[in-house]
Amino acid sequence: MKKLRLAALAMITSLPLVAVADISVGDLPDNAFWYLHADLEAMRDSSGGQKLFAWFEDEVGEEVREETGIDVSAEVNSVTAFANREGGTVILVQGPISGDTRDKLLAMAAAKAPVDPREHRGETYYFFGDPDDEGRPSEEPFEDLEDSTYVSFAVDGMAIITAREAQMQELLQSRGKISRPATGDGAMLILSASKTLVQAGLQPGSLGDDGDGGDWESNIVRNTEQAALLVADESGMLAIAAQLVSTDAKMAEAIGGIVNGLIGLQALNGELDPEIKSLIRNTKVQVRDRVLEISTVLDPDVVVGVLEN
- How distant, in Å, are the alpha carbons of 23, 40, 181, 299 from that of 271? 40, 36, 50, 20
- CA 229 to CA 234: how far, in whole Å? 16
pLDDT digit string, tens, across residues 89-125:
999 999 999 999 999 888 888 887 788 999 999 999 9
* Dihedral angle sign, alpha carbons of residues 197, 242, 305, 13: negative
pLDDT: which is higher, 192 or 226: 226
- 142 touches 9 (CB < 8 A): yes
What average pLDDT does the segment 124-143 reach? 74
Model confidence at 17: pLDDT above 70: no
Average pLDDT, the chain: 82
Average pLDDT over residues 146-162: 91
- Say yes or no to pLDDT of 7 above 70: no
- Given a contact cutoff of 8 angstroms between Cβ atoms, the answer to whether 244 and 191 are in contact is no
> Region 123-130: what's the mean pLDDT?
89
The closest of 113, 94, 88 to 153, measured between CA atoms, is 94
Residue 6 or residue 293, greater confidence: 293
Nearest Cα neighbor of 113 from 128, 126, 130, 132 is 128
Collapsed DSSP state (helix, strand, coil) of residue 265 = helix
Query: What residue ranges define each of the domains in the chain, with the CATH number in brackets?
Result: 2-173 (no CATH), 202-308 (3.30.70)
Residue 65 near residue 71, CB atoms below 8 Å: yes
Over the range 203-240, which residues count as b (16 or more CB within 10 Å of their CB) and which as e?
Answer: bbeeeeeeeeeeeeeeebbebbebbbbbbbbbeebbbb
Q: What is the DSSP string of 81-148?
A: EEEETTTEEEEEEES---HHHHHHHHHHHHHHS--EEEEETTEEEEEEE-GGGTT---SSTTGGGGTE
- C-alpha span between 5 and 155 (Å, rounded): 19
pLDDT confidence of residue 229: 94
Output the pLDDT for position 1.
41
By the 10 Å C-beta count (0-12 exposed, 13-18 middle, 19+ buried), 270 is classed as: exposed
Q: What's the confidence (pLDDT) of residue 133?
A: 65
Residue range 258-309, pLDDT digits in tens? 888 878 777 667 677 776 777 777 889 999 999 999 999 988 988 888 787 7
Indicate the pTM of the whole model: 0.83
pLDDT tens digits for range 223-260: 889 999 999 999 899 999 999 999 889 989 988 888 88
Q: Looking at residue 115, what is its pLDDT? A: 87
In 3D space, the residue among 44, 31, 118, 29 whose CA is nearest the CA of residue 80 turns out to be: 29
What was the pLDDT predicted at 264? 78
- Percent of the chain whose predicted confidence (pLDDT) is above 70: 83
The CA-atom distances, in angstroms, between 19 and each of 46, 140, 158, 191 are 11, 23, 17, 10
For the chain, percent of residues with pLDDT exceeding 90: 38
Asked if residue 172 has pLDDT above 90, the reply is yes
pLDDT in tens, 42-70: 999 999 899 989 988 898 888 888 888 88
